[in-house]
Every structure is written in C-alpha cells, then in structure tokens.
Structure 1
Amino acid sequence: MASSPSLPAAVAPPTPTGSGQAAAVAARPWLGYLAMLVTLAIWTGFVLSIRAIGKSPLAPADVALLRFGLPALVLLPLLPGRWQQIRAVRLRHVAMILAGGGLPFFFAASAGGAATSAAHVGALVPGTAPLFVAALGVLLYRQTVAGSRRLGLALIALGVLALLATSLTALRGPALAGSALLLCASCLWGLYTHGLRRAGLDAIGCNLLLCLPSLGAVAALVATGALPTQLGHFGWSQALPFILLQGLGAGVVAGFTYAFAIRRIGAERSAVIGSLTPALASLVALPVLGEPLDATTVAGIALITGGVVFANLDFSSTSSKGR
C-alpha cells in the first residue's frame, strides 16, 4: 500500500498500478493537488486541535466522542456492505487498529499535547511515525530498511533529539512527560499503520472498524463515570472546531481526499506534500495559539520534515519497484 504512514486519517486504498496509475496521474493533475492541499489543511488542523483540547472547556472524553462518534454515524449506513470484509480481519490486526488509532492513541496524544506545544505534537506524532513504522516492521515482520530511507529515519531521530534538548537541559518534568506521551502515541500509530496494511479494508471499512468500537468504549467509560466529562457545560460554538477538524475532517473527509490525490498525482507527490504537516502546524500555531518558536524547535522541525521527505520518497520508489 502506497500511503504515507505519518497521517491522522485512515490509510488510503491501494494506489492504481501500471498503466492505470499513469492514466490517473495524467488526468487533471490540478485536482489532485487541490485535494492534497485540502488534506494538508485538515491534518494541520488535526494537530492544532489536539493541542487545543487542553485550552478548551471540553474534556478529552468529549472530544473523543466527537472524533469517533461523527464518523461512525456518517458511515454507519455503509456498514452492511463492508460487514463481511470487516469480519474477515484477523483479531490481531483488529487489536493493532483499535490500540494504534483508537482510544489509547487519542488519550496519549491529547495528554502529551496538553503538556507541550503544537510544534511538539506535529513533529513528534506524525513526524516520527515513519521511524516507528520502520522499527516495528523490522521487529514484527523482519522488513529491511535500505537506501535513502535510512538517511530519512536518521534525520527524524536527530530532529526528535533537538526537540527534546530544551526539556532535557531544563529538566522540565511536564514537558518531558508530555513528549514521552507523544512518542508513545506515534509508536501506537505505527501499530495502526501495520494493522491497516494487513487488514485489506478500504477507507470506509477502516473507519468503521476503528470508530464503532472506539465510540462504544468511550461512551461506556463516560456513562459509568470512569472518564470525566464536561457535557452540558460548553456550547456548540466551543465544540464546533473539534466537530469540523476531529470528527468530520480527520474522521471522514481526509481519508477520501488523500485517496483521490494519490490517484491523480501519485503516491510520491502526495506523501511529500503530506510531510509538510509538522512544519505547517508549527507556523499556524504561532498566530492561532500564540505559541512562539525557538531556534532549537525550528531546527528539530526542519530535520524531521526533511527526514519524512527522504523516507517517503524512498518508500514510494521501493514500493513501485516491488509491484
């Protein structure tokens, strides 16, 4: 599957191959670039919304209800057509998907974002996902890492060290703990990516498998009082950004726009454009959340972004050769 692993949306369906891919890429490529820009905007908004949970009147559980509830409701009418495919997914892969993209990922990312910054969320979650995907591929499936992808992963690792440098030198406990949680979230996303690749589902089936059980679990935890909630203590205007970015944007729209972009402009160009998410999220956080960037953070983001570009380019070309 040719989709990038460092994404907050469901992994896209397999890319068209051979002459079919060439024809799709040649037909109105500007539509593909437009779809990819929409996807990039949604991913950037997703990163900012993770950071914004801690500054909003909504509890993390309330945002989780929106994140998994809205896609579940929108896609529920399509469940009968995907039910047999979902039932055929191995239990091991179901567990990887639910742990890696469901509640454990969501709460690790939201807790880490509350203790750090949007720059850290963008760089340490989607930015380091290729590193964890590669490591898990080696450990679980004996995959090999070769070519410029090694350079890309090394740049990502250096970028992580740069982002952690300030916290390490200042011994700031909350920031260090938050960064560790974000790295845990990225590792979970690596599990999610490998689970989806082996599940054999399209974007709709992936979302249904992820969102329906996750919605049931968070609803039960809220109903029993195991998770705190602020339901009834915030208005629609305060929930609207999370409805648009978490529920509808990342939960529904981005999966389809990314798949469309891959068909129009190819997996390589789509992945490279998507790798701009950490840098763009950091820049947008400056005026939106009032979070300044220091030189060390900028260096870390630059290293991670460059590393993701190298990793995606090599991953895409290797995949193409293997078809």
Structure 2
Amino acid sequence: MVENRLLGTFCAVLTVTIWASWIIATRYAVTTRFNAIDIGLIRFFVPFVLLSPIWWKRGIWPRGLPIGLGLVIVGGSGVAYSLVVATALKFAPASHVGTLLPGVMSIWAVLIGVAVFGERPNVIRWVGYGVIATGIIILTALQPGQADEDTVIVGYALLVCAAFMWASYTHALRRSGLQAIDAAAFTGFWSFVSFAVIALFTGTNIVEAPLNDVLVQLVFQGLLSGVIAVVTYGIAVRNIGSTGAAAFGALTPAFSALGGVFLLGEAGSMSLILAVALVIVGVMVASGAAAKLLRR
C-alpha cells in the first residue's frame, strides 16, 4: 500500500512537471524559430507513431463514438487547442499561461456543467471558483511593466478560448466512455493528419531548423507531453485516486511560473506570486481535493 502511494505520488509529480515543461518549451519554441503549425506537427507526430498500434487495431474512429463528441475531443485537446495555445504563448509569458489556463479552464468546466448538464456544485466549490477568479483578476489587472500590454491582452483572450476548448473536451471525454490512452491515440491520429494537411498550404519551418532544436521539441512536445504524461497520470489516478491526482495537478501554475522566471527570464512580481497561490488553492478547493485531504 505504501509502495503504491509512493508510485502514485511520483507519477503525479512527474505529470505536473511535464505539463509545466510543455508550456515552457512551447513558449521558447514560438518566440524563437517555430510557429504554431510547426508545434502542432511536432506535438502530435510522436503519439501518431507510438500509439499507432492502438488506432490501427481499434480503428481511426472508435466504434460507437458520436461524431459530435469525437470532434470536441479532437478539437478540444488536439488540433484547435494546440493552435490556440501555441499562438497565445507567442504573446503571453509562460508564467501567466501556466496560471491562467488551469484556472480559467476550471471556471469554464463548472459553467458548462451547470448550463448544459444541470450540475449543481455545492457552496464550498463555488468558494473555490471565486478564489480562482480572484487570482486571475490579480494576474491580468495588476501585472506591472508589461512590454506590450495590448499584445499580452491578445494572449489572454486566446487563453480564454483555449480553456473553453479543454473544458469542453473534459466533459466530452467523460461521456464518451474512452480510456485515456484510447483518446490519446484517437486525438494523435486526427490532429497529426490535420496539421499535415494545413502544412501543405502554409509550409513549415521544421526542415530549416537545427536538428537539436527539433529533437528537443520532439521530446517535450511529443514524447513527454503526448505519451508519457498520459500514462503517468493514469498511474497516479489508480494509486492515489482522482482527488489526489487533482491536488498535485493544481501545482502546475507554480511549476510553470518558476520555469518561466528562472529558465526563460520572465519578470516575476508579488502579484504573480499571489495569483499563482490563489489559483492553486482555488483549484484544490473547487475540485474537492482540499476537503478530502483535510479529512484524511
């Protein structure tokens, strides 16, 4: 039992580290030599290849999956989501993206649940969403010294759209009956094919980029984020439960902020620290992780 919890904890921390690393690697890529199409091709090439036995065996469209749910899954976690986030990271710092994305996504998720599926969150959860909203307001309204405020606002607007996509994907995946690895294979196939078709018309910078840069992005975008994180998160959920995994997932803003400041040289501030702390606490409260951990 202890060994299982240690394994689950290790996998949860590894998953959060990968998620934060993906944000940092994408921010670096789109501000140097790659564009959003390049990132999409690299991001989904690895799952397209490594998970090919799954989509080859079970088909490129899972049997019984409604077309609407399938399109939301592919768009909300794949091609459309990747395009929007990569473009947003061209305008907004990684430390902001890592905080805003999970925070706004949580709010979108509950709004969709209430409006579409008739969910009724309790008061404690609403308090958590209020804390998240406070953190988001602090981050977006009180950040000093932005080099181009109008440009950063464009990034923020794109992040709101991306968060809506991921929240929609979360609800669609829950109702699709797909396992995480099946969804990853399904999304990987259609997203890579979509980006390959787009690249035929727009071209790509990948062939002109140094091999080392391409390999680094293949590791962070494709292997770690596209495959390993899917597996490690599943192991974490099995060994410490969905609540425990969600609690660790709430640490993504902190990891992203640290990476943005110390690895990419982004500006840090007290308002950023406060916003990160509020979003982490809010996500834990809203997800129910905080209450269950306190009861234990």
Shift in Å at residue 240 of structure 1? Answer: 2.4
Aligned to 1:35: 11
Question: Please, which of 118, 123, 126 is the counterpart of residue 150 of structure 1?
Answer: 126
TM-score by length of 1: 0.84
Q: Is the 8 A contact 1:267 1:316 kept in 2?
A: no
- Structure 1 pair 127–115 and aligned structure 2 pair: CA distance change class (3 A): same
Question: Please, which of 174, 181, 191 is the counterpart of residue 197 of structure 1?
Answer: 174
Is 1:160 the equivalent of 2:136?
Answer: yes
Aligned to 1:14: none
Alignment of 1:48-197 (within 5 A): 48-83=24-59, 86-166=62-142, 172-197=149-174
Q: Is the 8 A contact 2:247 2:290 kept in 1?
A: no
Where structure 2 has 5 or more consecutive residues not aligned to the other structure, the ranges are: none
Partners in 1 of 2:98 and 2:141 — Cα distance?
A: 17
Letter in 1 for 2:281: G
More deviation in 256-265 or 169-178? 169-178
Shift in Å at residue 137 of structure 1? Answer: 0.9
Identity among equivalent positions (%) equals 28
Alignment of 1:286-305 (within 5 A): 286-305=261-280
- Structure 1 pair 83–283 and aligned structure 2 pair: CA distance change class (3 A): same
Is 1:242 the equivalent of 2:213?
Answer: no
- Structure 1 pair 257–48 and aligned structure 2 pair: CA distance change class (3 A): same
Q: Is the 8 A contact 2:44 2:188 kept in 1?
A: yes
TM-score by length of 2: 0.92
- Deviation track 1:101-148 (CA, whole Å, cap 9, x = no partner) reads 122211211111111111111011123221111111112111111132
Aligned to 2:250: 275
SS of 2:122's equivalent in the other structure is coil
Aligned to 1:21: none
- Structure 1 pair 159–270 and aligned structure 2 pair: CA distance change class (3 A): same
Partners in 2 of 1:86 and 1:77 — Cα distance?
A: 13
- Structure 1 pair 315–100 and aligned structure 2 pair: CA distance change class (3 A): farther
Partners in 1 of 2:126 and 2:33 — Cα distance?
A: 43
Q: Is the 8 A contact 1:113 1:120 kept in 2?
A: no
Partners in 2 of 1:114 and 1:311 — Cα distance?
A: 30
Q: Is the 8 A contact 1:61 1:229 kept in 2?
A: yes
Shift in Å at residue 183 of structure 1? Answer: 1.3
Letter in 1 for 2:269: D
SS of 1:127's equivalent in the other structure is helix
Partners in 2 of 1:49 and 1:169 — Cα distance?
A: 24
Letter in 1 for 2:186: L
Where structure 1 has 5 or more consecutive residues not aligned to the other structure, the ranges are: 1-24, 318-323
Q: Is the 8 A contact 2:69 2:172 kept in 1?
A: yes
Partners in 2 of 1:72 and 1:66 — Cα distance?
A: 10
Partners in 2 of 1:232 and 1:27 — Cα distance?
A: 45
Q: Is the 8 A contact 1:158 1:303 kept in 2?
A: yes
CA RMSD of aligned residues (A): 2.2
Is 1:220 the equivalent of 2:197?
Answer: yes
